[in-house]
Amino acid sequence: MSISTNPRIAILNINMCPEMAHIASQAHSHPMSLLTLESCFGNLYKSIGVYLADELQGFAILHQIFEDATLMDICICPQSQGTGLGRLLLDRVIVAAKEAKAETLYLEVRSSGIAAINLYLRYGFKETGRRKGYYKTVNGNEDAILMELTFPG
């Protein structure tokens, strides 16, 4: 499936947290709480949303301290997954990190997130480690795969 209408990228503000929490609750088995999402606004954070028409379809949260940027979360609502919106959002996250003079973009992903892992690998992310049993699942825990993308120069 591909994007059927023109998506729009926008910087989100804290007032969008209820919509972000709703999307996260649909897309993640153990989503961030509303309170945690609200804590991701401030000088060290940038929250980026992707819209179709005027409806938020997904978001990404970028945290940056000096030259180290971390993708805290990237989330697309289930009905829009597989349409290219995740790639569009990841493109914008990478641009934002580079514009802020990041040297490295870090992330972690569930070991079961095969589609996400493959997307990150296509973008040049490299696996750098694992956190054993880090993420909760319905049946216990699963590993977090640590990945990073280094920007040249």
Enzyme catalytic residues? 108, 120
Of 141, 99, 116, 102, nearest in space to 58 by CA:
116
- Going from the C-alpha of 42 to that of each of 2, 14, 58, 69, the distances in angstroms are 33, 9, 20, 15
Cβ pair 76, 58 in contact under 8 A: yes
| Residue 115: DSSP 8-state | H
Q: Phi/psi class of residue 56: alpha, beta or left (left: φ > 0; alpha: ψ in -120 to 50)?
A: beta
